[in-house]
């Protein structure tokens, strides 16, 4: 059977075996209740005040802390004004600043996987105009290149033998090259 599914800003076709189980959000399984837009801030603040299984950001962060926030690339969507990405970043930053973290000590990494690196226009769509203007021009939004081993540290392998790398950021970079 031929199936069209959402991918990036459009759809993608795939030829699937006839016995494929298909999950369609909202149809196959009922969507969860929607939080009304006017209650989103309260819900985010409640979540930040009571994280599951870890201390709050205000307990973890303080003046002098450096913070790196990794977000998915544009392929994952989330460009609407009330997207989880845009709202969560706003409330996380508010809490970090209240804990003493300085704006200059925040770095965002757009995690592209093997997708093309994000361009300036992609970053603006992902972050929205306000956050983009606040962080882009100071180089605090970078696009990860998972094929650029010169900017990664080899952390070894998992118990299954999968390689694990971590990007070198401004704070742990030992090689000089523009991101």
Contact 127, 69 (CB under 8 A): no
The pLDDT of residue 133: 95
| Domains along the chain with CATH numbers | 41-167 (3.40.50.11440)
pLDDT at 176 over 60: no
DSSP state of 138: T
pLDDT tens digit sequence for 151-171: 788 889 999 999 888 776 654
DSSP result, 70-132 = EEE-GGG---STT-HHHHHHHHHHHHHHHTT--GGGEEEEEE-TTSPPP-HHHHHHHHHHHHH
Instruction: Enumerate the β-bridge partners of residue 164.
Output: 156
Q: How confident is the model at residue 177 (pLDDT cuts 50, 70, 90)?
A: very low
pLDDT tens figures, 80-129? 888 888 889 999 999 999 999 999 999 999 888 777 888 899 999 989 99
Percent of the chain with pLDDT over 90: 45
Dihedral (CA of 174, 122, 131, 32) sign: negative
Instruction: Kindly tell me if the per-residue pLDDT of 178 is higher than 50.
Output: no
72: left (phi over 0), alpha (psi -120 to 50) or beta: beta
């Amino acid at each position: 059977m031929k199936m069209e599914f959402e991918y990036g800003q459009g759809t993608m076709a795939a030829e699937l075996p006839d016995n494929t189980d298909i999950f369609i959000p909202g149809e196959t399984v009922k969507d969860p209740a929607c939080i009304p837009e006017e209650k989103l801030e309260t819900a985010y603040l409640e979540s930040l005040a009571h994280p599951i299984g870890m201390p709050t950001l205000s307990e973890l962060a303080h003046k002098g802390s450096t913070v790196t926030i990794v977000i998915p690339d544009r392929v994952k969507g989330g460009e609407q004004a009330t997207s989880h990405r845009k709202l969560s970043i706003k409330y996380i930053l508010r809490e970090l600043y209240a804990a003493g973290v300085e704006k200059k000590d925040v770095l965002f990494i757009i995690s592209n996987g093997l997708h093309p690196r994000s361009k300036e226009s992609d970053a603006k769509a992902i972050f929205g105009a306000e956050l983009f203007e606040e962080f882009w021009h100071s180089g605090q939004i970078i696009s990860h290149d998972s094929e650029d081993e010169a900017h990664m540290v080899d952390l070894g392998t998992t118990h299954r033998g999968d390689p694990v790398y971590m990007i070198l950021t401004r704070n742990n970079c030992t090689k000089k090259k523009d991101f």
